[in-house]
Structure formats: C-alpha cells, structure tokens
Structure 1
Amino acid sequence: MTDITYRLPQKRHLVTELPGPRSSELAARRTSVIPAGVGSSVPVYAADADGAVIVDVDGNSLIDLGSGIAVTNVGASDPRVAQAVRDQVGHFTHTCFMVTPYEGYIRVAEQLSALTPGDHEKRTVLFNSGAEAVENAVKVARLATGRNAVVAFDHAYHGRTNLTMALTAKNMPYKRDFGPFAPEIYRMPMSYPFRDDDGLTGPEAARRAITAMEKQLGADGIAAIIIEPIQGEGGFIVPAPGFLPTLAAWARENGVVFIADEVQTGFARTGDWFACEHEGVVPDIITMAKGIAGGMPLSAITGRADLMDLVHVGGLGGTYGGNPVACAAALATLDTMRELDLRGRARAIGDVALGRLRALAAEVDVIGDVRGRGAMIAIELVRPGTAEPDPDLTKKVAARCLAEGVIILTCGTHGNVIRLLPPLVIDDDLLADGLDVLETAIRAAGN
C-alpha cells in the first residue's frame, strides 16, 4: 500500500468522557423526533471522519474498527471519492436511468462484470441497498427457473425488507412481530466449525444440507440457494473448506441458481475482491453493496447474461437505482482500491490482527474462537472453560473499548461475537493502538 496523506490526524485522542456533553444533548433531542426502533451502536455523534478516525461533536478522536459496517473500506472521506462526488453534483444529481440514462451507470456495470468471479458473459443492475439487491436477485432466479423455493441458511442475514427478513435467521431484533413473512423460504444447516459438534468437514456439512433440501423440497422445486460466503450478522462464520464449492456444484448440476450475498464481504474486505474467490466459487448471481461506493448508497447484482436477460423490460430498476452521484463515487472507490492495493492491505491487516488475537486466546479462557479472512475478523466470547455464549461479556468489552475511544461492533446469533471491520486504509500504528485497547478490554472484562 502506498503512503496516504490523511486530512485528519490518525490518532486516538479523548478530551471528554464518552459520550460528551454535545453528544448527550443530541441524544436528548433525538428522542423527540426519531423512534426508539432506530438503534445506534455507540452514543457519540460524528462531526468529521477521515481514514480510520471519527471525530465526534465534542472533539474526541476515536479509532473506527467498524467502517460503518464494512462500508468505508477506502476510509470515511477518501479524497478521490469526495472529488468525484463534487464533480458529478456540479453537473446533475439525478435524471433516473430508466428515463434519461447516463454513462456512469454503464461504466460501473462494465467494471463489475470484469471484477466479479467467472469469465462468462454477465449483466449488471444497480440499486440502492443490499436488501434491494437481494430481493432482485431472488426475482431473477424465480423468473429464470420457473420455481418458487429459495434456500437460506442458519445464522444468515440478508436484510430488513419483507422478503429479506424471511431470508434472515435471527429473530430479535430483525423479525420479531414483523410478520407474516414472504413464503417459500426454507432454512438449511450452515457449516459452523466452532459449533459443529460432530466435526463435519466442509463437504460433509454441505451434503447434510443437500440431503435436507432433496428430502424436504426436491431439487426441481428450488429456484435458488442464497448464502453469504462468510456470514456477517450471524457471527462472521467462515464455513469449513469445501462447503461452498460442494453446494455450488450441486446447484449447477440441478439447475438451481447459486446466489452469493457479498454485501458485507465484497470489495477487498477479505483480501480478494470477493470472498467466494478464496475457494474458486463462481456464483450465478452475486449481490453487492456496502463497500462499493465509499459511503454513497449503491448496490448491485451481477449475474449470468442468460439469466438476467430473461427478465422482461421494466421488470428491474428503481427511481434512484444507480444514482449518478453514487456511480461516480463507486468508480472513484474502485480506482482507490486498485491504486492502494487494498486487497493486499486487507491481508496484511488480517495477518497482524489474527496473530495477536489468537495469541491472546491462548492466554485467556473467555475466547472460544478467533476467525476471519483479511480485515473481516471475529472473536467469539464464551463463559470460561465452556463453549456457552457470553453476550453480557461481549457488551462489557464493547463498552470498555468505547470508553477508551475505540469503536467496535458486535454480532452473532447469540450476541457474543466481536467483529472487526477496520477501514482498509488504517495505518499500522492506529491498528496496533486499537488492538491494544481491545486486548486490555477483553482481559479486564474477563476477570
């Protein structure tokens, strides 16, 4: 990675307790206008951000190890992205691609066709959010196959819309009391090496799911399998080697559309452009969002041309899908990723963080598992000497980190997983400082 000139000092620096008085004032104002159902992970309000630092309204500089949930992979205010947005806004902010199209949309589609796995002919459609991308991928699969059933997996997260809630496994807070949900969604067992009591290999775990699909649904009734190559909200679960290729091969043999949900894993996060590349898996359709546009709202599906071209005119699209400002940001984001070799940087971050955290796990008895790829890293916390999830300890660790000026995220079906998603442009000193704080918090909370 080449040297980066940051706009803000890449240092952790606290001038008040957290939250500070200005953040507390904003929190009080918030309650009168924003419903309680909109949550925030940390009680501090941002005023500025750059690289891997967020400056709050009280002047505190915090280390960001969450990247807005894997969105700001190129940093929170990458200069190339910011300039691209300014330039595009100076010309036009919207015409609607379905009314008066523009080149930026085509350029993004061209790049995604080149970047996504496989050398087959592809087509791309742009949307606004990850959930919207997932919805449309399922639409394409159902139309193309003439089938209805869609298979998702234990611990999956695919979004908050009606269909994507049905695909999502976790009840609270994503599904509770929001039903009835979209029909013809079926859930199968995931490969979860830390919690697979029978120690299944990847191919064995895949065959377990395949057997259940064949018995319960029949291969000729399944339109699509949708899976996150590394599960996100479910706990950064990395399936055992061979699980994904075995599923993909079965899908291909049975005319089932294999959809890789790379909304969180995509765009250099795991050390390659997409996580499914680590095992050579080529999906029929891939869903993308989050890191695609440096923080601007954009998502996409890229799929086999023979599938995508079956959809009738007007069957895909949306008023804001592929907004020209977001497209300009995406093109700049991809340029930055290439220039800075952020795939290589993600691998380097993973080498450092995983090495330190695995050494810590050998010393303390509250870490059940450390896992991940590249800069997508999980620490699963358990009650000492057991594999029993400890969500309370996880909350304590997150709170201790925040008190010291480090933002971390939690996840997991049981709420007991710390997930690390640092911006890929984080410098070595800031990464080391953040890991120091995290290590101290785990040691302290575990005592």
Structure 2
Amino acid sequence: MSAPTAVLDVGGGPGLPQRRELRTPVPGPRSLELQRRRAAVVSAGLSSTMPVYAAAAGGGVLVDVDGNSFIDLGSGIAVTTAGNSAPRVVEDTAAQLTRFTHTCAMITPYEGYVRVAEELAAIVPGDHAVKTALFNTGSEAVENAVKIARYATGRTAVAVVDHAYHGRTNLTMAMTAKAVPYKDGFGPFAPEVYRAPTSYPFRDGTDLDGAPINGPAAAARAIAHLERAVGASRLAALVIEPIQGEGGFIVPAPGFLPALAAWCREHGIVLVADEVQSGIARTGAWFACDHDGVVPDLVTTAKGLGGGLPIAAVSGRADLMDAVHPGGLGGTYGGNPVACAAALATLRTIREENLLDRAVEIETLALGRLRELQRTDPRIGDVRGRGAMIGIEFVRPGSHEPDADLAKRVATAAHEAGVIVLTCGTFGNVVRLLPPLVIPNDLLSEGLDVLADALSGGAR
C-alpha cells in the first residue's frame, strides 16, 4: 500500500484568497495519487464529477490538494449556500462539540432541536401552526413526508411528476423519474407511485388545438392524467419540486403550481413541496414555492439547511405532523445536536448577511450574462432559474434536440480551466450553476467568462 499523500496545509473558510489559480494540470499529482488509492478501496458505484481532491474551501473558491484554486459554482450540490466553513457555523458547531455530540433526540432531547423547529416554523409558508420532525438527508425527509401523508389521510397512492428527482432510497427511487444512473438495476421499487406530466416551458409547445401549454393548461393536463390513472380520492400526496433540480432546473410556467395546490385542497390531497435543493434562500426567497404564492401542506428541506452538516426536515401543518402516533417518526441520528447548531448558525448567517437579497443579485448578474451568450449561440436553447439556481440547456442548433455531449464538453472544459460546474437534466443536456451566496461578484463574473470561453473554444 502506498504512503498517504501529504495533505495541503491551508485553512478554509472565507479567509481563503478569492481567486482562480491553477498551479498544476487538472488533476494534479496529489489528486492522481489519491485517485489510485481510492480505486483500490472505494466502491466503483460512487462516481465523482471532479477529478480533484479538496483540501479547503470558503467564499467562492475550493482549493485542491495540489494547491489549485477553483471557482465554486456548485456549492456541494446546493449545500454550502451560506459559504463553506462559514464563521458562525464553525464557531457554533465547535462549541456544541465540546458540550455533547449525541444523545439521540428520541432518548434525551435537547434545546437545539426545538430551536431549529422554531426557526423553521417562522419561515415555512402560510399562517397556520407549523411543526417539524428532523432527519439526516433529503431522501429521508421526502420518505417521511409520504409516511405522514399516508397516515393522516388513510390513503396509499402518491403522485409525482415527470423529470422529478426525490432521492436514492427505495421509495424515493420509485418517485424519481430518471432511470440512469439512479434507478437502473435496483428494482423492484415501492408500489403505488404514479407519475403525471409537468410544466416544462421550453419543451411544452402547444396542445392539439395549437394553443400554447401555459401553466394552467399544464396543470389541467396533469390533473386529468391523475384523475384517470389513479383517482383523486385515492391520492395521499402530490410531491413536487417547485423548481426541479436533477431533472434540469425546470421552472414551471406561472399558474402551474397554484392550480395544482387548489386541486389538492379540493380533494384532501397533501401537497408536499420538495425544497431539498431549492429551499433555504437558494432562489432569493426562503422557499421556491414562495415565488408562486403557494402554501404547501408539508415542506421538505435538507442540503442548504445545515451549512455542510447532515440535517433534513419535514415541516408543515401541525394537524398533519401530529397525526402520526408517538414513535412513528424518528431515527437514531435525526436532528443531531451538532447538525442543529450548524442549521441555527446557517439561518442566522442568511439573515444577518442579507443573503436572500444577495441571491437576487446573483440571478441578475448570471442570467444577464448567460442570455447575452444565448442571443449569439444557437446551441443554448434555454437559460432559466431563480436566484443562485441557474440552468443552461444545450440543444442541436435550430431544434429542441438535447445535446448532452455538448453539456459534458462545456463542463469538462470549465473544470480544466478552474471552474466547478455541474450537469443535470433528464436528457443530460443542462449545465447548472449553484454558487454560494457569498461568492464575490468579480469571481462569479470570471466563472461565467470561463463558461463563455468553453463554448467558444474547447467545448466545440
């Protein structure tokens, strides 16, 4: 076995120099050595977007073990929204570590859990009483939201929509639309999950009469399908991402979500907003459903809630959350005290640093620059998003045919030039941008310039 690679001794957090700098080819020698060691001991089923190994991160950069500094437009898939190793998160989690690391909230509860629930009750949409249960991951949160909806309604069927992504557990794989890599070979899946068409403005086109499929029309299409295929009286829940994440950063047309919410209310169907990727300030509001004026019955959060530590939540109407019998919800690590400290510090950082407004500033800068590119490049079919959740959909020029190869080439060229971006989409043809909200404007602009260079140069 080879000797361990020496780890680059550099501190993280916002004190890192905020610059893009490549000292070696990407990947560098230390990353290559770690990759060789990883291949010997880590499952091949775990893949990585970047070929480099992190040593430090903060602000808008990530530094690898070779000393290369990358502009971070990924935030660990929307996790480090308030910044990597944000000072309040570091300070408060360190303090909690010295008090206790675990007691299990189901055995000996603690104030941090209660405080996180209080904070979520203050920001979850609606003026009803809100209660919360804490878990570890987004998949857990979604699965428990379904459990709650089924228990409260006495119904079993669950509706989701095309292009949805809800997780990697057995139930959430059934709820996820994309087969490869998420579902292929892992069945059989949980039953009683039904899929309806969604609102995808770039691809919806017109109906049989030639009328454009706007938000209300897309909702009517989805509702008609569910009423035929399942029946409203059998549905426990409709689970939907207000902005779809892995499916392609799809922002539904105006009127789509409100129409679905009204239908759910009429038929006693629990509306679950899956805000695992879009929630906690990412879109310029606490929750993406706020933009549409939609008040869901239950909301799931994770990712950006913990500032990098694993924590997730189901929050919503108190009558629903209290419907489950005592002991019906829980988990050994759910609402871990250190993760609770991180969540409280993250929410405080978002408030004190006005990061909701900052997300809107990022949207203005990023969409403006990318739409300039779109006007002169027919391979960019669509640019969309809200706040710091932006997608670029690539197509064959003159068509809507997805170009996944181009998206991959653009992302690879950006990586090699020192910018972290991610791909997504049912067709694999979307490059997504999820910068931390604390990224400096000049660094964000430079990252967008690198993307433009990738399109005009190496990605061709």
Matched with 1:115 is: 123
Matched with 1:176 is: 184
Q: Of residues 141, 153, 173 in structure 1, which corresponds to 2:149? A: 141
| Counterpart contact for 1:151–1:222, Cα < 8 Å | yes
| Counterpart contact for 1:366–1:446, Cα < 8 Å | no
Q: Of residues 407, 410, 421 in structure 2, which corresponds to 1:394? A: 407
Matched with 2:59 is: 51
Q: Distance in 2 between matches of 1:211 and 1:6?
A: 50
Matched with 1:433 is: 446
Q: Of residues 384, 398, 420 in structure 2, which corresponds to 1:371? A: 384
| TM-score, length of structure 1 as denominator length | 0.98
Q: Distance in 2 between matches of 1:32 and 1:39?
A: 14
Distance apart, 1:66 and its partner CA: 0.3
How many residues matched?
Answer: 443
Q: Distance in 1 between matches of 2:14 and 2:139?
A: 33
| Counterpart contact for 1:74–1:336, Cα < 8 Å | yes
Give the alignment of 1:18-57 within 5 angstroms.
18-57=26-65
SS in 1 for 2:457: helix
Give the alignment of 1:187-336 within 5 angstroms.
187-198=195-206, 199-336=212-349
Q: Distance in 2 between matches of 1:255 and 1:440?
A: 51
| Counterpart contact for 1:393–1:445, Cα < 8 Å | no
Distance apart, 1:77 and its partner CA: 1.0
Q: Distance in 2 between matches of 1:368 and 1:436?
A: 19
Whether 1:186 aligns to 2:199 is no
Q: Of residues 102, 110, 125 in structure 2, which corresponds to 1:102? A: 110
Q: Of residues 9, 12, 30 in structure 1, which corresponds to 2:20? A: 12
SS in 1 for 2:328: coil
Distance apart, 1:387 and its partner CA: 1.0
Matched with 1:128 is: 136
SS in 2 for 1:166: helix
| Counterpart contact for 2:239–2:271, Cα < 8 Å | yes
* Code of the aligned partner of 1:98: M
Matched with 2:418 is: 405
Q: Distance in 1 between matches of 2:280 and 2:347?
A: 8
- Which blocks of at least 5 consecutive residues in structure 2 are unaligned? 1-12, 207-211
Identity %: 66
| Counterpart contact for 1:398–1:408, Cα < 8 Å | yes
Whether 1:79 aligns to 2:92 is no
Distance apart, 1:105 and its partner CA: 0.1
Q: Distance in 1 between matches of 2:229 and 2:179?
A: 23
Q: Distance in 1 between matches of 2:75 and 2:351?
A: 19
Distance apart, 1:122 and its partner CA: 1.2
Q: Distance in 2 between matches of 1:386 and 1:379?
A: 15
Distance apart, 1:383 and its partner CA: 1.1
* Code of the aligned partner of 2:179: N
SS in 2 for 1:124: strand
| Counterpart contact for 2:305–2:346, Cα < 8 Å | yes
Q: Distance in 2 between matches of 1:409 and 1:342?
A: 22
Q: Distance in 2 between matches of 1:443 and 1:136?
A: 46
| Counterpart contact for 2:14–2:84, Cα < 8 Å | no
Q: Distance in 2 between matches of 1:83 and 1:422?
A: 23
Whether 1:418 aligns to 2:426 is no
Q: Distance in 2 between matches of 1:62 and 1:217?
A: 48
| Counterpart contact for 2:413–2:459, Cα < 8 Å | no
SS in 2 for 1:39: coil
Distance apart, 1:446 and its partner CA: 5.7
Q: Distance in 2 between matches of 1:62 and 1:123?
A: 40
**Deviation readout 1:336-390 (Å, 9 max, x if unpaired):** 0001111100000000000010111000111000000011000000112211111
| Counterpart contact for 1:369–1:380, Cα < 8 Å | yes
| TM-score, length of structure 2 as denominator length | 0.95
| Counterpart contact for 1:66–1:408, Cα < 8 Å | yes
Distance apart, 1:6 and its partner CA: 2.7
Matched with 1:67 is: 75
Matched with 1:151 is: 159
* Code of the aligned partner of 2:198: M
